[in-house]
Structure 1
Amino acid sequence: MRVLGLLALAGLAAAGGLFEKKQPEGSTTRIFKRNGATVTIFEHAETGSTLEFTSNPGLCEENKQVKQFSGYLSVGANMNMWFWFFEARKDPEKAPLAAWFNGGPGCSSMIGLFQEHGPCSWNNGEAMDKPSNNPYSWNDYANMLYIDQPIGVGFSTGSSTVDSTTGAAKLIWNLIQAFYAKFPEYTSREFAIWTESYGGHYGPGFAKYILDQNKAIASGKINATKINFSALGINNAWVNPYDAYKGMIDFAANNSHKPLISSTTAGRYTQLLEQSCAPALKKCWADSTDASCRSAMNTCKIGIESPISMAGDFDVYDVRKGRRGKWPPQTYEKWLQQPAVQTMIGAKQKYNECPRQIQARFQSTGDDSRNFLGALEEVVNSGAQVLVWAGDSDWICNWMGNFYTANDVKYPGQAEFKSRALQPYKVNGKEKGSFKTVKNLAFLRVYNAGHTVPAYQPEIALQAFVQTMKKEPLSST
């Protein structure tokens, strides 16, 4: 979720044979019991990184033949990044690898795992100790890696001063390098990034950093493992702040669910956007100083985001609901806080879903106001398959703003993409959304879905995920 608003301003081996393979020279593996849980620690000599994890057959993924592991990867001095990995339910030896990042900035990816597209959930009101199986889990197709970042988010532990998307990107690259060092069988697989909300910054920013590092590897400037980057998916995303603020105004006045403000009020906000917010954003983009970007953030949020968000009784993540109508349920969080569960999964601290201190760091640099459209364009022009999609009942990162951004992307198919009208997107013959696709860029509006699209419409989310992972144009079924 994107929470940086004015209110904020106010066993891999033990279970599945990984270490049956010959280990790199100098590397060591230790397997032992801790409070009844089997813990594996792998220290990689070349990178100096450490992997510590437990295997949890049947804990969330009910099929005990599907391997799952959770624990920590060291990505820097006293920086231990939490991950939870699920093998694909089908052909895991051949399936691609996808990493999921929730937004915030500073929100845990356990949100995506347990509330959106992981193997189990409590979305139908299940008892805390009995989550239900998710037949639309994304590991039905891909090997899934859920990552808590920056350090301090979720279960991640240690010290870190990360205060921007650019700063976070380096540590994510370090994590993937460390992951490959321990799991070399994935180095040849296609790798994709999926994210949402503030992930409109994270996704393009992380992907661009990976592409830049691949170029450095190819030219001999650095010695590292190339990441076979293949796809990017960002839903209800905050990419270009100007498009996002314009979308907030336009959606508030004219959406398919209910008007939040009058057309006259929308006109006043549009005038403020053009006369105050847009110039401040352009100054931020031009000089890229923290001071300019903080100023733009304050100008636009205080002038546009905050007053619209308080304009009526609606949930900013799903306007169909009242301000107190939060959904999905937070049962998963209570489950994760249980000491017994934390022992089983190898967690070393209490779970912290969206720590405010991380948000404050990103606020201090005005990262929210920086424009990641250029990074998104680089990703599209690299040939990676890209999906920009959004649930149409979310206001804070709504489909209109995402539609403007998708049309803004400069690539060989832009003229055709901009001129093409949205067409019905069907799942098993039923219209679930509308879309357009040209070459390797697609846009999808998902009907009757809030901010966390897969929680609301899991079937269409899985279909769009699989088609994009296969590097296919979106198409109805």
Structure 2
Amino acid sequence: MFSNKNDITASAFPLPNDTIVSSKICDSGVKQYSGYLNITPDANMFFWFFESRKDPKNSPLTIWLSGGPGISSMAPLFEQIGPCTVDNTNKSILSENSWNNVSNLLFIDQPIGVGFSYGTHMVNTSEQAAADIYNFLQRFFTVFPQYASLDLHLFSESYGGHYVPVIAKLIIQNNNLINNCKIDLIPINLKSCGIAGAWVDPAIQIDSYINFAENNTYKPLLDPPSIKKMSDAWTICKHNIDECYKTNSKQDCSIANITCKGDYFGIFVKNSGVGVYDIRTKNGLPDSIYRNYLEKSVILNSIGVNTEATKFIEVDNKVYSRFADSGDIIHSMKSQVEFLLDNNIPMMFYTGDADFICNWMGGNEMAESLKWKRHQNFKNATFQEWTVDGVKVGEIRKVEGLCNGHLHFESKQDAENFYITAKGQTFLIEDENVGIIEVYFKPPTHYTRNNNSNRYDNGEGTSSSTTMSNEVYFKPPTHYKNNSNRYDNGEGTSCSTTMSNFDKVKSNFATVKTNFLSVKRNDTKAKSNQESYESISSASNVAELRRCNTENLIEFLLNDEEFAKMNIGENFLSKLHEEDITVNSFIRLRKADLKECGLKICPSLEVEEYISSLGWYTYDI
């Protein structure tokens, strides 16, 4: 349903904070959507989507997530790969070399608190952030089903070395469950992942700092006494990282982050006199011009920003602090990358040779250390010249499924000109050996573009006044997989069964559910019980199983003393039954929609936590 000609408010379940607008900002020549998807009752995630300039129905979908943790994805939109840039006069300029020349583009501000995203739902681990992104994608493809079947390429930078592997693994795991009819969600057609300056394995990458300080492409960055201090500090830093890897405890990993950042990394910062993101500079990154552009009320209104609830936060230090305090920054994501490679998801890592924090030496060692089915092939592969249009831009090493490269430019202007003048078709190409989208650039996050020769966007400050086409429609996320492995229009189901399976579920449910009382979600016994339940239910008709699950959940909760103490009341259970809500999705109901039931707490908080502890809500997305 539409609240007005430009706003979309729709969902599988009513979520009134969803507000999406269609504007002509930045690139007036393509269809675009921006605004908020409400991923939980207290989390409003901002996005900006641009259709491809060439055949959007058959172009892939590329998602970009900034790193940090805590950096807005508006930076790459305006400074790297997006359809427009901003000049010194605070005007947008169409970028002729945007990735949307060949791909649909989706930029997401995440986690909550970053950019324009707002709410009280705060996360502090990569796993929690991945769950939010997965939930966002489920909602995005529900609102825009015409994009759900497109090939998807997931790109990020820096802390994306944590985000992307976890998100991609969750996608693969849930796709398997969807294909086996064990969960009722939209399959995501993930094809590849690419990460610039990836922060994947701190033990390996932090260890590279001394070597890089002495032997980088440009010049030695520290004198011998400073190198000695770093070497001494590394002993303590490494010990603490090893403890973090061993225990995986919040305390040990947080201590490792503090000692490595303060004592070890701090020596380099104090004594090198160079920028840690670009060792050719002394002052680090320049200010972003686009921030002033995003302070203009006409722009904010046109792209659907809730100016009463939030203001733009390019770098959210609070988000960084939460991830640091949880120890997530020191966690290794190598196993997740290896999982993706072994599940035939191509990966590309690329790094600029002037980046210190996520330097190319550590990135190369990380890629070489990955244990996967073509591990030895990759180790045996040699670096080759990386060229674009006959010009060498760096070196790259690749085998089928994995490539790792670093890029070198003689000057800031070379990098800038290379990035903005490259042919559109060279930005995203299918490499026949790697089978991955290759990206020919290293971070112009360090640079601002020149402001001549590009035409201005004639859609400045305007919004579309036309009604949305019929292709935007909304369905609950059910029955999305059919025999052709394409998006199903929801008219039929991909699973069928007889009532005998349904009866088996009910007859066996009493035994299974009683075990949930004494075990927690991650226990082996809980997993065994869940697998037992899944083995019974996997062949069941989706609609019948939904009703069965709901009935058994209600029966269980009515007889559960702990739940009774929470004073939820039977009205809530009746609401579940009336709406035919699945066990896996009932907490998505908004508190506002349940006021008639007289609830005293929000189902997405205490209730979700309690039912999760019993093992019911296993697929927590």
TM-score computed with the length of structure 2 as normaliser: 0.66
- Residues 84-113 of structure 1: CA distance to partner in whole angstroms, max 9, x if unpaired? 001111111101111111011111000111
1:335 is aligned to 2:297: no
Match of 1:287 among 240, 243, 247: 247
Match of 1:326 among 259, 273, 285: 285
Contact 1:96-1:143 within 8 A present in 2 as well: yes
Q: Tell me which residue corresponds to 2:551.
A: none
Contact 1:394-1:449 within 8 A present in 2 as well: no
Contact 1:81-1:148 within 8 A present in 2 as well: yes
Q: Tell me which residue corresponds to 2:343.
A: 382
Distance in 1, matches of 2:416 and 2:120, equals 32
Q: How does 1:309-458 map to 2 (within 5 A)?
A: 309-323=269-283, 326-327=285-286, 329-348=287-306, 349-448=310-409, 457-458=418-419
Q: Which moved more, 1:276-285 or 1:39-48?
A: 39-48
Q: Which amino acid aligns with 2:210?
A: I
1:466 is aligned to 2:429: yes
Distance in 1, matches of 2:415 and 2:10, equals 36
Aligned length: 433
Aligned residue for 1:43, secondary structure, equals coil
- Residues 355-405 of structure 1: CA distance to partner in whole angstroms, max 9, x if unpaired? 221112112101110000111111111111210100111111111111111
1:111 is aligned to 2:83: no
Q: In structure 2, do the counterparts of structure 1 residues 292 and 475 end up closer, same or farther at CA, with 3 Å as the change threshold?
A: closer
Distance in 2, matches of 1:235 and 1:449, equals 19
Aligned residue for 1:60, secondary structure, equals coil
Q: Tell me which residue corresponds to 1:120.
A: 84
Aligned residue for 2:26, secondary structure, equals coil
Aligned residue for 1:30, secondary structure, equals coil
Q: Which amino acid aligns with 2:207?
A: K
Contact 1:389-1:445 within 8 A present in 2 as well: yes
Q: In structure 2, do the counterparts of structure 1 residues 317 and 426 end up closer, same or farther at CA, with 3 Å as the change threshold?
A: same
Structure 1 residue 440 displacement after superposition: 0.8
Q: How does 1:147-162 map to 2 (within 5 A)?
A: 147-162=108-123
Q: Which amino acid aligns with 2:403?
A: A
Structure 1 residue 468 displacement after superposition: 6.2
Distance in 2, matches of 1:394 and 1:261, equals 16
Q: Which amino acid aligns with 1:75?
A: I
Q: In structure 2, do the counterparts of structure 1 residues 418 and 131 end up closer, same or farther at CA, with 3 Å as the change threshold?
A: same
Structure 1 residue 136 displacement after superposition: 2.2
Aligned residue for 2:395, secondary structure, equals strand
Q: Tell me which residue corresponds to 1:203.
A: 164
Distance in 2, matches of 1:285 and 1:435, equals 30
1:248 is aligned to 2:209: yes
Distance in 1, matches of 2:347 and 2:333, equals 14
Contact 1:41-1:53 within 8 A present in 2 as well: yes
Q: Which amino acid aligns with 2:78?
A: F
Q: In structure 2, do the counterparts of structure 1 residues 164 and 172 end up closer, same or farther at CA, with 3 Å as the change threshold?
A: same
Distance in 1, matches of 2:324 and 2:242, equals 18
Q: Tell me which residue corresponds to 2:22.
A: 55
Aligned residue for 1:311, secondary structure, equals helix
Contact 1:393-1:449 within 8 A present in 2 as well: no
1:43 is aligned to 2:10: yes
Match of 1:100 among 64, 78, 81: 64
Q: How does 1:137-216 map to 2 (within 5 A)?
A: 137-216=98-177
Q: Which amino acid aligns with 2:326?
A: T
Gaps of 5+ in 2: 441-621
Distance in 2, matches of 1:50 and 1:213, equals 26
Match of 1:262 among 213, 217, 223: 223
Structure 1 residue 473 displacement after superposition: 8.1
Distance in 2, matches of 1:106 and 1:80, equals 16
Aligned residue for 1:387, secondary structure, equals strand
TM-score computed with the length of structure 1 as normaliser: 0.85
Match of 2:2 among 21, 30, 37: 30
Q: In structure 2, do the counterparts of structure 1 residues 118 and 455 end up closer, same or farther at CA, with 3 Å as the change threshold?
A: farther
Distance in 2, matches of 1:475 and 1:153, equals 25
Contact 1:82-1:156 within 8 A present in 2 as well: yes
Gaps of 5+ in 1: 1-28, 33-37
Please tell me whether Structure 1 or Structure 2 has the larger radius of gyration of its CA atoms. 2
